[in-house]
Structure 1
Amino acid sequence: MKVGSALRKRYAQLFGLLMLVLVATGWAPMAQAAPNCQASSATLSMPTTIVVQPDGPVGPIDGTTGTATIIFNCSGLPASKAANDYTATIQAGQTLATLDSTNNTSGPGITFATSINGLAVLVTALPVQATSRSCLACGPTSTAGYVPGAVTAPSSAAVGSYSGTVTASYTAQLIKTKATTIAAGTIKQTNLIPYWWYISGGSVNSTSQSLGATLVLPAITITLPTCTITAGNNQTVTLPTVDTSQLAAAGKTAGMTPFSIAVTGCPDGVDIASNVFNNGTVSNTTGNLTNTITGNGGAKNVQVQLLNGPGSSLSGALNLSKTSSAAAQNSGTFDVVNNAVTLNYYAQYYAAAAVTAGAVSVSIKYNITYQ
């Protein structure tokens, strides 16, 4: 009988131990995710090089837009069953980049200054428009910015079980802000807008926490348009064959031939200040080009004279023996229309004395300046 009593006692101990395990399992608390929001920085897809008319009108500059999208991911909501702990709010601002003097704090958009005088970047946003007004939910110190959106858990969500996203899309536009001449240079890379998140009220009532994410303006090189010679760097002007009888005495001319230099792509509001011809073989007496074929077969006593043509502010022959500054006064100015202009000239034979038959060849360089 003692054996049976011992067995019953062992069963009772095992049963008691099993009950203890069940009680311990039933009392273990469930793991809950702490509320958290995350995002990554985004760089606006602006062109790396932008050509700006230096004296263009105030307003948006064509071909200078860029876009970016930032996705904010919030998880672990609601923070508790308190009413206000269901929502995590995204903040944009607090330490905005330097604002341009033309910025409107109420929008639409935020106008940021750049490192080039007269140029700014206007940043607009969707689905919530960006502004720079001061408000309670615009940053840890209630400073300038706006709220892109919020993630709210449904009322039925268990504590810490809900995740959601907010998507903000941005468009940036380079604008000219004042009637000033724009200089070439580089707009520096700039962190325009930093981002934060917080839970307001409830049992958490968190302070704003940095997401470590920013909207970035990339570095942009600003260049100015330059006049382009459409025919390239080299042109050939062919004068006709003439009889030496037309050049039988000093001062006689023959074979006048028009030629042009076509220029396009000039900046708005400029004129061709001068087209200086230089670095040719020139007679100091007449200011004309002398024949470079000096041996057998070359014509003697013949020169080539250049003259201003239609459209120039001056008329008459150019004295190519003058220095560049003085030669500019000979070549006249030309009006640029629709960013293009044609510089018209004439070339003709000129007799320094009675001319003998032969070939003629001359060359000259030209340097176009505009203002």
Structure 2
Amino acid sequence: MNRLLRGGRMRALSLALGGALLCLGVLAQGTAHAACTRNGSVRTAVVEMNVGRVVVPQESAVGDVLVRREFPIQASSQAVVNCAWRQSDTAEGVVVIPGFAALGDSVYQTNIRGIGIRLSRLGAGGSVGDVRYPHSLPISGGLGGTSYTLAGSRFVVEIIKTESSTSSGALTSGTYSSYRLSSNRNNPMLESRISGEAITIISPTCSILGQRNQTINLAAVPISGFSGVGSTQGEVPFSLDMRCNGGSGISGTFADVYVSFAGNAAPGTNASQGVLRNEESGGNAASGIGIQMLDDRGSANTPIALGETLRLARLNANEGDSSVVMQLLARYYQAQPNARAGKVHAIATYNVTYQ
């Protein structure tokens, strides 16, 4: 027995039949186009496409695969299809969910604006390889017959961005695909389904209020105000202000908003200290001094590690716009023992993401 679609010989035919071979040859003329047989004792294998929440990143592009999930096909090791010698058929994988238009590249538009779905099957057999839906695969029985099984195969679901603007909500529930014989379409070998809200799309948005690029001016401080490595002075508060929306969709669904900061660490420090290197050059540049960024949302001001991702807020679906504010501090930081007065100019970049 072999995996669909790869042939294997059934041992029922004895090569010792001798004179009966002529009779078989004559009968074959009338049965050359007979269909293969679907094993009625093997139930239809069902893949429940429980992908869960899919958050659409604001920076994602049309054509991006937002999520890819593989599901093992829980199929019987018994043959699901048997083809006797010279029997033939077509194994067809079709998308059956109504109202989903084909967009090309095996992607189908879903009921959620800007969101497509692509279905495929892996491990379909060494002679066939992996296949996407829809597809048609010819099968036939060799001398001694051929059997086929789905055991060991995997089913793949890809959620794809199809438009620059996307909506939120749950994908339509129901049967999405059917894998069957063209001669027996009422008894499929494999189906894929969505039950309830098994795939829910979240399309959050956050808009920066004011200028996306901020310049924070720190007042001049005396070099004598530093007492050694790790000492600070000249704190200045500022904030990152956003208006965010969790989008529309199923009540209880949400997306979390995160922010991270990146920059060059000052010599003598590590990323966890959150001290930015002085980018000023020339004879007027200060040395041994950097600028440290801190999270000012709690009672204790916490240095923001470079590259660290911080959770800002949770956006619930159907709640409209909300204000998200991150309170921050910037201050001078002595990073090396021999500090020298001069100009200090540091750069940090921030990135807002959703999960």
Query: Normalized against structure 2, the TM-score is what?
Result: 0.39
Structure with a larger share of its residues in helix? 1
Task: Answer with 1 or 2: which has the greater Rg.
Answer: 1
Query: Normalized against structure 1, the TM-score is what?
Result: 0.38
